[in-house]
Homo-oligomer: A and B are copies of this chain.
Amino acid sequence: MAALQIIADRGIDELTLAEAGQLAGYSRALPAHYFASKDAALIALCDFVVEKYLQRVQRRIPGREGLEGFLERLEHYFDDGRKDPRILRAFHAILGASPGKPALAKSISGLAEASKATFCDFLRAGIARGEIRPDIVPEAEAVWILAALRGVMGQWLNDEEKTPLPKVRDAFVVSVRRALQA
């Protein structure tokens, strides 16, 4: 979708239906014709972005299981964002505009829950395997780990130079390992 590019580049509020339509090779009026309102269009677009983002992040990575599998997953998160900054930018634009726009908040909230649930599964499996210390509350750990991932990518988007992604990734993985291991 062409609107994704606009959102990624200039933010959610710079998106105009007219420009989206024209950038997509259609007429100015098409988006307004298909969607009931701009808000509806925005919701559809955001759902699309969020779903696409979810597909990227959630896809099965063949690899180790347990704690190391989880850490690999976190590493993947860092590397993946760099490969397709466009979708990442769009996602973070939506993320940033979410408070105050209840319609978007719902989508965003759903994604967060899904992500945290996946993390929890990994954490519990790690505990069961004796690799992760059993005194953690998976739901609580999942929150800050997801937060760190998103926060780091957000800082990277804000200031690429001051956020050396590979170094941060490695430091994060080592620290999470030490934080969680039994």
Contact = CB atoms under 8 A, between A and B. Distances in A.
Contacts of A158: 95, 98-99, 105, 108-109, 112
A172 B145 CA distance: 9
How many identical subunits does the complex contain? Answer: 4
Interface residues of A, number: 55
A138 to B, nearest CB: 9
A39 B179 CA distance: 44
A179 to B, nearest CB: 4
Given A143-B168, A151-B148, A158-B108, A93 B100 contact: yes
A162 B116 CA distance: 10
Nearest to A173: B144
Interface string A139-159: 111011111111110110111
